[in-house]
Amino acid sequence: MKPVDRTRILLGIFDLFLVLICTLFTAYLHGSLSLKHHDGSYIFIYISFPMLWLLMSVLTRKFRIGEKSNQREVFFSIIFSNFIILSGITLIMVLFQVTFFSRFVLFGTVAGITIFEIIAGHLFVSIQNSVFLKDWIGLEIPEEQSVVIAPAPHPEVLSVPRKFNVLRDAIIEESGEEAFTWIHSQMDITNPKNFILSTDTRFNIINHPTGFYTGLVNLQRINNLRRINKFFETVNTKLPEGGIFIGCVETYWLRKQRILAKFPPLINYLVYMVDFILNRVFPKLVMTRKLYFLITRGKNRVMSRTETLGRLYSCGFKITEEKPIGDLLYWKTQKIRTPYFDDTPNYGVLIRLRRIGLNGKEFNVYKLRTMHAYSEYIQGFVYESNQLDEGGKFKNDFRVTTIGRILRKFWLDELPMLLNIMKGNMKLVGVRPLSKHYFSLYSEELQIKRVKGKPGLIPPYYAQYPPPEKLEDIEKNEMEYLTAYEKHPFTTDVKYFFKAMYNILWKGARSK
């Protein structure tokens, strides 16, 4: 029997004993422990309640604390599980009209069990995660827990190439022949300084020496990683400048195609919708994020191509190759710098974007999200790949979501900018607030003029119909506006405001 299975059984026995003790103690306090004042119904409740509790504890995966967990996970796991159990038992009592059983006994028992479970769970995890405590109480310490960083292999080992046939068969068994062919074309797999593994935990990378490997391949899709950025950051620390990192992901689009092809018509879209809500929406919302990770441990998340590339760029890698193979997208990256270490990524509907404002100072612009998460990190990549479209926007910008295109068309995404106007870092009419990358594309003369005043919600190019389509025409339009604004600020903004409103409302000028 595996150690984790044995631990879960012991936890189940302990929980069953705890339920019996708390039930009897609460019944004693309530005065319902005696059988003189009621029939044998209470005996049935005292027997069935612990068994029902144990069954629902298993179904809600409460005993997953037998796996490697932290204190926070234990707390939320117990609270969530016991809440579900209490709700289920209450529902059963209502449906079957169990009116003779005391609510005081029920709620008192659940409260007592929850308190003792949290205390016992925290003690258990403290011992589980502490080498010192395990040694102190005489428990066996697993060998991998006593090793922090593996020593670097002997130099002679590096001169011995790996056996090609063995590696080829292992990679094909794990990822398929087509994936092997592509990986082999991107990296010399027989080179001992190229590390190849299939893991969903960064522990298997932490225990390797820093700066020793020049390339790393992970055959496990990143959808199963609990903390994706931490994993990428760990890989970054292990590789030298210019080091190669190859991995794979099941993107949102590839996942959709797989689900639609797997199930019959109509049913496939229903399955896809449920999968999208559970594995794409729930991990992003503040209300459901903790609960989602508590139950799934981050497995099988839906990831967009944009978010994947953005995470890689934010963690210090540059995309050099992409290849869709089967249901996965494989990518090859190169380490170009250290990670940004963004500890507070924003997944919500309302986002804050850093923009250049008055006197060249950066400030947060409020908008409704129209792009996938981490889109801001790959502006340079999109510019190099797509260049600019008419109106100064990126051509075929894959970062924009379907809903985002609708919001942009009618400027709904910019309504939160009214908060910036109220805060005083923007005005109603003025040049658009730009990111550093967009700002760098403008001429130096226009950059100097731009930072002399506040940016605006309504850009001056909408006062011209049709609006300018090329970046140089937009620059010319903004230069004319800023020159006029320097001479007559108020009258210039009023003039441009009414012209822009006329073109938008009557001539149908729209944003892309």
Distance of alpha carbon 306 from alpha carbon 396, whole angstroms: 13
CATH at 211 = 3.40.50.150
**Most confident listed range (5-9, 40-44, 227-231):** 227-231
**Higher per-residue confidence, 8 vs 145:** 8
pLDDT, tens only, 334-354: 999 998 876 556 666 788 888
Note whether 182 and 55 are same-domain residues.
Answer: no
- The whole-number pLDDT of residue 148 equals 43
- How is the chain split among helix, strand and coil, in percent rounded to 5? 55, 10, 30
The yes-or-no verdict on residue 392 having pLDDT over 90 is: no
Note whether 104 and 177 are same-domain residues.
Answer: no
**Higher per-residue confidence, 477 vs 283:** 477
Distance of alpha carbon 266 from alpha carbon 57, whole angstroms: 35
List, in sequence order, every beta strand (DSSP E) within 380-497.
427-429, 456-458
The yes-or-no verdict on residue 264 having pLDDT over 80 is: yes
Domain that holds residue 49: 3-144
- The whole-number pLDDT of residue 388 equals 53
Please compute the mean of the pLDDT values over residues 240-266 and round it to a whole number.
92
Confirm whether 272 is domain-assigned. no
- The whole-number pLDDT of residue 347 equals 63
End-of-domain residue from the set 113, 144, 175 = 144
Confirm whether 486 is domain-assigned. yes
Contact 265, 354 (CB under 8 A): no
Please compute the mean of the pLDDT values over residues 40-47 and round it to a whole number.
60
Confirm whether 21 is domain-assigned. yes
End-of-domain residue from the set 144, 175, 208 = 144
Note whether 362 and 432 are same-domain residues.
Answer: yes
209 preceded by a cis bond (ω within 30 of 0): no
| pTM, to two decimals | 0.59
Structure tokens at 510: 């729209």
Confirm whether 261 is domain-assigned. no
Q: How far is CA 43 from the centre of its chain?
A: 49
- The whole-number pLDDT of residue 479 equals 92
For the chain, percent of residues with pLDDT exceeding 70: 78
- The whole-number pLDDT of residue 66 equals 47
The yes-or-no verdict on residue 139 having pLDDT over 50 is: no
Q: How far is CA 147 from the centre of its chain?
A: 30
Note whether 234 and 369 are same-domain residues.
Answer: no
Please state, rounded to an integer, the average pLDDT across all residues of the chain.
79
Please compute the mean of the pLDDT values over residues 116-143 and round it to a whole number.
56
pLDDT, tens only, 53-97: 777 777 776 766 544 556 667 777 788 778 887 887 777 777 766
**Most confident listed range (44-58, 142-156, 198-212, 286-300):** 198-212
Note whether 75 and 168 are same-domain residues.
Answer: no
